[in-house]
Chains A and B, each alone.
Chain A
Amino acid sequence: MRLPPGGGRVKLSAADLEMLEGRRGEAARFAMSIIVQMAEVVGADELLTIAQAHLDACALMSQSSLEFIEYLTRHDGRVQVPTTLNMVSLDLDNWRKLRIPRSFGEMATRIAEGYLRLGCIPTWTCAPYQGYLTPRFGQQIAWGESNAIAYANSVLGARTNRYGDYMDVCAALTGRVPKAGLHVPENRRGQVLVRVHDVEPALWHDTAAWAAFGHVLGHLVGSRIPVIHGLPQNASGDQLKALAAAAASAGAVALFHAIGLTPEAPSLNVAFQGGLPQETVDVGSAELASAWADLSDAAGGDRLDALILGCPHFSYAELEALAEVISDLRPERVHPKVQMMVMTNAAAHALAARRGLVETVERFGATVILDTCPFHFPIVRKRTRVVMTNSGKCAYYAPGELGVRVAFGSLRDCIRSATSGTVVLEHFPWKDV
């Protein structure tokens, strides 16, 4: 590995320089050299100190990601701030039981162990904001994972840029990031006004509606900052999670403001920091209907092979809602030809297990999977053709990642499809718009 090109024009502290010059070990030198080069890329003049990090770099299993983490552990890398971990390519406790090939399991285990050796907290989740170490308003953080970035910035009001894999690790190893982008309050000003109107209030009860809206939003704004006016004021964290995940898949949304809902948007004037929108767009039922059509290429009545829930990882409340829908349908169970998977993390799972919710879900015929994601973990059966989900993010990525057709629907329709073995799409009032 080569030496970095000096500090360039970026102002560095004495500690930064020590790292850059290798006086705090090779792992810190490597990390600081990436941070400094990225400061040049984003035009930052100085670095700032972060309070915590969330690493996405553990998610992808590849030869290079293994080489990356093992280079750092071989050189005694240690995180300098409290650091949580995104999902890994494996259900770490149950992969043998799930008949995952040994070579795959062992490589993913090596990657996971590497991140623990850096001193990270084994959260293994793409929804870190619903578990341990939730960041505070105004806190400077360095987060990876697109949905978590959007949620942390928008819903919590913490400050992070869209950090790509390995930048998140370098930030954690040095405790520093370039002072640029969304770390700087002026850059958090709204750019596009999105007015929501003409949507039946009952529609918003299902999180899939929030996902459909997020899909519209991502397409509309790309990487710009939207200010949304007209969303229901009683939105739950899980609904905003669905919005954030879909918007960060269809677009590069790292921050959205929702008037009355998110902390930097008590009013339009505050959200736009006294300025005017570059553009104003109206979104109503017709746009939600076309998002739904864009996310679904399977039709009602098609044979269903798999149901994926928990993208991002299901919270305790979502597991509870799922158990309720299942209980309503009792004694029906998952159709023998359908594989139903529910993704969650150890924290939500532990709470749900204490209430007997995990048992309800498993007795229904679903597999509850921890720590991971079906796009990174070979759990979906071969020859799966049609997948159903209530997640905008999952619906967006499944065709490319799994080579399947997707049905996007409400939680209730997802469960009814799983029991009947064919896609049921009845619960969306906008489907006929």
Chain B
Amino acid sequence: MERRVGSRPVVPAVASGLVVRSQAPLSFWGGVDPETGVIVDRHHDRCGVAIAGCVFVFPEEKGSSTASAVLVELVRNGHAPAALITERTSPILALGAIVASEMYGRTLPVLVLGTRDVTVLENGDHARIALDGTIDVTKAGDL
């Protein structure tokens, strides 16, 4: 079954990947290994999960202002998530995506999706993101 939701593209770009969904805010610095894209924050609900190549869905960024530099490094070394979707605007991660795009010409979409719509996205679903922020979701059971 396909579901479609509209999101607000903070940094517009096209992407697709498997959904990793988290209920907890995350700081990319101190929370994600900049070499591997694995979540290392012991306090985080998805600690140990690799978000490289995934559509990572979480409530909002928090913590360190180095998060943007971590995201740029993940883009450079090929371990960045395919897309970031948060419930509230996460300007430091948006910044990381914009700087990475300026430096390396590779853009990952950063989207804001309301608290109600975000429940459509569950772990293991496949999400396809269009330039206008439209998200097409294929449920895990249908893959």
Which chain A residues have a beta carbon within 8 Å of chain B's beta carbons? Answer: 1-2, 30, 33-34, 37-38, 41-42, 56-57, 59-60, 62-65, 67-68, 71, 144-146, 149, 161-168, 218, 222-223, 248-252, 294, 297, 375, 396-397, 399-401
Contact = CB atoms under 8 A, between A and B. Distances in A.
B73 A222 contact: no
Interface range on chain B: under 10, 10 to 19, 20 to 34, or 35 or more? 35 or more
Nearest to B71: A164
A252 B90 CA distance: 10
B76 A64 contact: yes
Given A166-B99, A167-B68, A252-B61, A41 B94 contact: yes
A60 B29 contact: yes
16 contacts: A41-B94, A41-B98, A60-B70, A64-B75, A65-B72, A68-B103, A144-B65, A149-B65, A162-B65, A164-B92, A165-B67, A165-B69, A166-B68, A166-B72, A223-B62, A252-B61
Contact of A167 (B31, B42, B95, B102): B95
A222 B60 contact: yes
A62 B69 contact: yes
Most interface-central of B62, B98, B100 (chain A CB within 10 A): B62
A211 to B, nearest CB: 15
Interface in B94-119: 94-96, 98-105
A394 to B, nearest CB: 11
A227 B27 CA distance: 23
Given A71-B103, A146-B64, A223-B88, A63 B76 contact: yes
A168 B96 CA distance: 12
Contact of B40 (A68, A149, A248, A400): A400
A63 B95 contact: no
Nearest to B101: A2
Given A38-B95, A248-B63, A251-B25, A1 B73 contact: no
Nearest to B68: A164
Interface of B: 10-11, 25, 27, 29-31, 34, 40-43, 47, 60-70, 72-73, 75-77, 88-89, 91-96, 98-105
Contacts of A400: 30-31, 40-42, 47
A376 to B, nearest CB: 9
Contacts of A33: 102
Contact of A34 (B31, B75, B98): B98
A37 B98 contact: yes
B91 A401 contact: no
A161 B91 contact: yes
A206 B29 CA distance: 28
B94 A38 contact: yes
Rank and list the top 3 A-B pairs by shortest CB-CB distance, nearest first: A164-B68, A164-B92, A165-B69
A2 B27 contact: no
A396 B30 CA distance: 9
A166 B91 contact: no
A122 to B, nearest CB: 19
B63 A166 contact: no
Most interface-central of B40, B42, B66 (chain A CB within 10 A): B66
B67 A252 contact: no
A64 B103 contact: yes
Nearest to A166: B99
Contact of A166 (B30, B40, B69, B76): B69
A59 to B, nearest CB: 6
Contacts of B11: 41
B25 A252 contact: yes
A252 B73 contact: no
Contact of A222 (B40, B62, B77, B93): B62
A33 B99 CA distance: 10
A118 B11 CA distance: 29
A60 B67 CA distance: 10
A329 to B, nearest CB: 32
Contacts of A251: 25, 62-63
A164 B67 contact: yes
B65 A65 contact: no
